[in-house]
Structure 1
Amino acid sequence: MRILVFGKDGQLGKAFKTFLNEESPIFYEKPSIQFVGRSECDLVNSSNLLQLLESYKPELIINASAYTAVDKAESESDLAYAINAKAPELMAQFAVSNNACLMHYSTDYVFDGEKYGFYLEDDLCNPLGVYGKSKAAGEEAIAKVFATSTQGQYAIFRTSWVYGSGANFIRTILRLAKERDQLNIITDQYGAPTCAEWLAKASLSLVLNERGEIKAFPSGIYHAVPSGETTWHGLASYVVNTALEAGVQLTVRPSEVRAISTDEYPLPAPRPMNSKMSTNKLQAAMAASDTYNEAIEFPGFIGWEQMVHEYIRKLASGGLI
């Protein structure tokens, strides 16, 4: 099988690069895997993207790339739409023309955050800013392309608050907690922190069978986040406490992680206040499958606290804090 992974330098792309390789035990037959980043393929350049797809002829496309600069997107809308909407549309067109599978990643920002409770996949999208609008446009473009074809499969995984290898909220909190004696963190936005490695395993568990081959699954949108919920303030407090328990020397004390409202920390782009998403659809699709790849070692929909705790412990033991 030929696999093409876009976004190799991002947190999710790095997770795939760590987990997927030609010698990975999840594959019965040795695959051919190519990881590409901006230096290998500029997604803004449509001809460059199409040339790569046509020359490599992937059977599985994993689009872990995205324009994620939420605030800069307000002034760089053309760039955001080119990467988040047009490029995925071209990938989808290739997939249907070549009977391939497309795995694409989207975001909680496609919602306005006004719903009470957990969002479902078919809830109305009403993004507030350019970033969310461009990601929603990408979802719509993919679905439209596949709707007119009987070939190929696709899965759009909506997720939230991703962390992994690279810059993210958790590492920012750890850095600031060593530099400052007080942190002011937003407490009225709700969601679920998602480990990039967990997300990669969750999505592959839907798409690959026990031999590491693409299996039949219901194409569509799936919410992929761990169980539980928290706020940015709740996450920051948990990070500080866990780091201190791991023996990390911090300047800030847990009592000095102060809760503030969104209004007290204005930003160029609006954020959804509620990013909680139900994963019942993805769990049901996995349970309904008659094949499961045990080598993926997907831990299930465990709580976000367990994964954040493990993540911080690994950073601490590796001297990365």
Structure 2
Amino acid sequence: MPIGNTRPSVRPAPAGRAGGPAVTSSPRRDGALRRRAGGGSGAERLAPYILVAPAVLIIVLLRLYPLVLGVNFSFTGDGAQNGTAVGFGNYRELFADPLFRTALSNVGLLVLLLPVAVAIPGLLATFIYLRVPGHRLYRSVYFFPAVLSPVIVGAIFNLLLAFDGPLNAVLGAVGVGPIDWLGDPGIAMFMVVGVHIWATFGMALVVFLAGFATLDAALLDAARVDGASMPQVVWHVIVPSLSRTIQFVFVTTMIGMLTSMFGLLYVMTSGGPEGATYLPEFYIWKQQGQMNRPALASAASTVLFMIMLVVGLLQIKLLERSGKED
């Protein structure tokens, strides 16, 4: 029992957590913190490069290396000159060939029709996103053609567009004379491109729907509150918000139109009539597979690659500029 006015002494609390033991730092922990602040160990810095190395190796071996070989092969001869350097002889022969010039003019037609090929899935995706009546059914129906083989699609439309086929029968019933859809050089290419758009726009539709998933719904609500009409909402809200998605669809659609129409061309027209539906892809197959001209086919492949590269870069630049202006 304490005597008199004796008071217990009060010690100051140790540094660290209140009411707990003092926190002391160890040299090992300080070193780990310094390494973490400085960017980690050497293994951690190399980890991203190690992870992407297999993909880079596959691209180099299966894409870039064959591309370099093909370009090099295009400067050699065919037949008796097999393996002999001929300079730009194959390219001069290419541009002197009327069929190849027709194929290049058809590429220009594809470029002109490209906005239509992108606008169709874009508008349909907009209707589905806005949940028009029956949008769930439309989502399935629109994608269905994308799972069909180009050979099957070509065979179906060969029957529909035949001179004595169902389409001309319907036109005859309303007093319109029969049209040779696939035999007229002036319209055959339009028919093939139209069938290709119908058969492939389902993939672009899926890409657009994925882009709509990132769209801020508050922007649409604000536009409606301000009294914007549907065309104004699409042009001033949806298009700028989906500019990256539109760029991707433009480039992939153009690549598909230049490199994925062989099946339709082979089944529907075989390049005819009078070579009117030739594309570089079909020309390459003819030279390689039937004419046994692999060096000339390599030159045509190189030209096709340069066309896709230039057109793709121009599309990206134009779309980026229009996005900045908006």
Structure-2-length-normalised TM-score = 0.25
Structure with more of its chain in helix, by fraction: 2
| Higher Cα radius of gyration | 2
Flag the structure with more relative contact order, 1 or 2, with Cα contacts below 8 A and sequence separation at least 6. Answer: 2
Structure-1-length-normalised TM-score = 0.25
Structure with more of its chain in strand, by fraction: 1
